[in-house]
Chains A and B, each alone.
Chain A
Amino acid sequence: MSDDPNIQAEILKLARLLHCQPERLSYLENVPSLEVRELREQVTDMLFSAHVKTLEKLAVASKLLPVAVTALIAERAFGPILTGRMAGLIEPARALAIAERLSAQFLAETACELDPRRTSEVIAGISPEQITEIAQVLVARNDYVTMGQAVGQLSREALQSALAVLGDQDLLRAAFVMDAKHRLPELAELLGSERLIGLIDVAEAAGLEDEATDLLAHLDEAHQAELLAEIAARDEESHRQVLDRLSRIRS
């Protein structure tokens, strides 16, 4: 078993993309997580470029249809996989107009099938209200992978709205599988110190120390020092594991 804390998350994301059980890919545990991530990006390119000519023709043809009819076809005929593939081929303003007419349930299912690199403009344009509804569906499905992959593309307002509907454990799990870890400091800022310290309490109780340590390790040094001081001033004993790990990372 690998001691790379990110490997399980990478295997989970690849399995999701390939629509197979993560256990089937367990042999990837001994491959460095960065290389499994590289493989996932190659598989994404493979799947998104397969049949691209047909999908491009469908995208052109869809311009002849009113937005409402295209939304209806997406939900009733295309389904989440093809809608996800097409989202990156349609002009973002039109894709957003279509998304406005889709149910949160369908958008959540489609979000699992998106390549955030190809649809960043569309994801960033979805309203905070709709993001909140989608986040609620994803939370109910325990779908941390999709949440984590989409976070990097969300507007600050949408991110703030989504954070409000995520429980502490959901948040730790989603942050752990985020692709765009460079946004973790912004996420931490939106959460505020009180909730961040609360997350550490939750992490230790729920066995999510790896997740909490990863979140804290991505904060800038000043923010880490501020949190450590605040935790130490409270009850250092109850945060011992995370504090020890974080101290090791910082030393």
Chain B
Amino acid sequence: MDALEEQLRATPPSGLSRLSETELRDLVEVLAAARHAQATELQAAGEKAYAQIPWLLRGPIRKIVS
């Protein structure tokens, strides 16, 4: 439950204590994978987005985002 709490940054619902160690470990893995996928997507999208921005605005926007 500790690893789950760390991943969620919140106290998990008490009913989850019914899960076995293996099941809890799997749940933590699924959560970590979702966070990782979101981070990867965000990074890739940032690069792709610059290509769509009118060049005059790229400097000011890079300044805000960085």
Contacts and interface: CB of A to CB of B under 8 A. Distances in A.
Interface of A: 17-20, 24-25, 27-28, 30-32, 35-36, 38-39, 42-43, 45-47, 49-51, 54-55, 57-58, 60-61, 64-65, 69, 72-73, 76-79, 81-82, 85
- Taking residues whose C-beta sits less than 8 angstroms from the other chain, chain B's interface range is 35 or more
Contacts of A72: 52
Interface of B: 7-10, 12-16, 18-20, 23, 26-27, 30-31, 33-35, 37-39, 41-42, 45-46, 48-49, 51-54, 57, 60-61, 64-65
Given A46-B35, A76-B48, A61 B30 contact: no
Contacts of A60: 64
| Most chain B Cβ neighbours within 10 Å, of A38, A65, A77, A85 | A77
A217 B64 CA distance: 52
- Binding site of A, secondary structure by majority: helix, strand, loop or mixed? helix
Contacts of A61: 60-61, 64-65
Nearest to A74: B49
A60 to B, nearest CB: 6
A27 B26 contact: yes
A65 B20 CA distance: 51
Nearest to A32: B15
Contacts of B61: 61, 64-65
- Binding site of B, secondary structure by majority: helix, strand, loop or mixed? helix
B65 A39 contact: no
Nearest to B64: A61
A19 B23 CA distance: 18
A31 B65 contact: no
A120 to B, nearest CB: 22
Given A50-B39, A61-B61, A79-B41, A73 B49 contact: yes
Given A35-B15, A64-B64, A78-B49, 18 more contacts: A18-B30, A18-B34, A24-B26, A28-B19, A31-B15, A39-B16, A43-B8, A43-B31, A45-B10, A47-B34, A51-B38, A54-B65, A57-B64, A57-B65, A61-B65, A65-B53, A73-B53, A78-B45
